[in-house]
């Protein structure tokens, strides 16, 4: 089995500013390089990876692109663009990022914005249309039901935009809700074929560091498959944030063992490899 890990972070505190880490007292408040991940990756079936932005600035994106170019297994980067300035977005793409074979998508740290409807600003919607025009997908890093509501509105205003809910948009695992407002909104979102689901970040969402597993995540993954189907879901490890809930290999072991409950061998190949390959236009051979 070959896995594409569609959600890997690296950050270098000397190369970019990561505002959300300032004052953070956890293990995350240090530089994390791709080399640091390698011993743990070797314990898994992760063969390819996608780096995902961790700061709303060009420096973070440019650093990830450089690392991707120097790595033999990183095949894509989900970077950042100044969505509040559509003209600057277009210029950045035309002059810089569209020429880079590793630039595969865009994300903004919407969960750090005070307004959960941040994406519905007129200028931001114009920029999202620019992404749709170039067939660049958008990663939604929502944490509230309101973020799902916003995404649904965005899908109506920018109908050509492909989007993925990172970390399943924080399902209510800790509250043991099956499935509450999250579930009602996700059911609505699932009706739009442009919405995809990234099975990732569930260890930290569970609130049971080092002891989470199938019991905690099974029902939410099952719900996701039931609503979105096996063809619109793929996987992410969320390293190094996932270290708050366990090692990289522990995280992947929990996902793989849980997925085996629901997926045939062919479906496992779809969810672990081909869906992500298609969504991010990675052009990898199966």
pLDDT for position 136: 98
Strand partners for 196: 164
Q: What is the pLDDT of residues 234-255, one digit of tens each?
A: 999 999 999 999 999 999 999 9
Decide if 96 contacts 71 (C-beta within 8 A).
no
pLDDT for position 36: 98
By CB neighbour count within 10 A (0-12 exposed, 13-18 middle, 19+ buried), where does 256 fall?
Answer: middle
In whole angstroms, give the CA distance from residue 44 to residue 250.
Answer: 9
CATH code for the part of the protein at 53-279: 3.20.20.140
Statement: residue 286 has pLDDT above 80: no
Q: What is the pLDDT of residues 65-120, one digit of tens each?
A: 999 999 999 999 999 999 999 999 999 999 999 999 999 999 999 999 999 999 99
Q: What is the pLDDT of residues 9-25, one digit of tens each?
A: 999 999 999 999 999 99
pLDDT for position 13: 97
Share of the chain above pLDDT 90, in %: 99
Instruction: Spell out a b/e string for 173-206, using b for 16 or more CB atoms within 10 Å of the CB, else e.
Output: beeeeebeebbebbeebbeeebbbbbbbbbbbbb
The ranges assigned to domains in the chain are 53-279
pLDDT for position 69: 98
Q: What is the pLDDT of residues 131-145, one digit of tens each?
A: 999 999 999 999 999
Q: What is the pLDDT of residues 154-203, one digit of tens each?
A: 999 999 999 999 999 999 999 999 999 999 999 999 999 999 999 999 99
């Amino acid at each position: 089995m070959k896995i594409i890990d569609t959600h890997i972070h690296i950050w270098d505190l000397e190369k970019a500013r990561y505002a959300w880490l300032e004052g953070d007292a956890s293990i995350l408040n240090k530089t994390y390089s791709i080399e640091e991940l390698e011993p743990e990756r070797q314990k898994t079936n992760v063969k390819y990876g996608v780096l995902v932005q961790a700061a709303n600035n060009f420096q973070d994106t440019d650093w990830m692109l450089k690392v991707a170019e120097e790595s033999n297994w990183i095949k894509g980067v989900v970077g950042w663009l100044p969505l509040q300035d559509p003209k600057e977005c277009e210029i950045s793409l035309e002059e810089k990022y569209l020429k880079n074979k590793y630039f595969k998508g865009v994300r903004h740290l919407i969960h750090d914005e005070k307004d959960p409807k941040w994406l519905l600003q007129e200028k931001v919607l114009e920029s999202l249309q620019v992404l749709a025009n170039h067939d660049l997908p958008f990663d939604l890093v929502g944490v509230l039901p309101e973020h799902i509501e916003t995404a649904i509105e965005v899908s109506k205003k920018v109908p050509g935009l492909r989007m993925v809910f990172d970390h399943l948009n924080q399902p209510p695992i800790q509250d043991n809700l099956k499935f509450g407002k999250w579930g009602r909104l996700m059911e609505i979102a699932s009706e739009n074929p442009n919405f995809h689901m990234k099975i990732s970040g569930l260890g930290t969402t569970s609130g049971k560091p080092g002891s989470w597993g199938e019991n905690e995540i099974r029902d939410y993954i099952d719900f996701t498959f039931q609503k979105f189907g096996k063809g619109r879901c793929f996987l992410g490890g969320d390293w190094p944030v996932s270290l708050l809930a366990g090692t990289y290999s522990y995280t992947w072991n929990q996902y793989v063992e849980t997925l085996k409950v629901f997926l045939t061998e062919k479906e496992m190949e779809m969810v672990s490899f081909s869906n992500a390959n298609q969504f991010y236009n990675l052009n990898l051979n199966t």
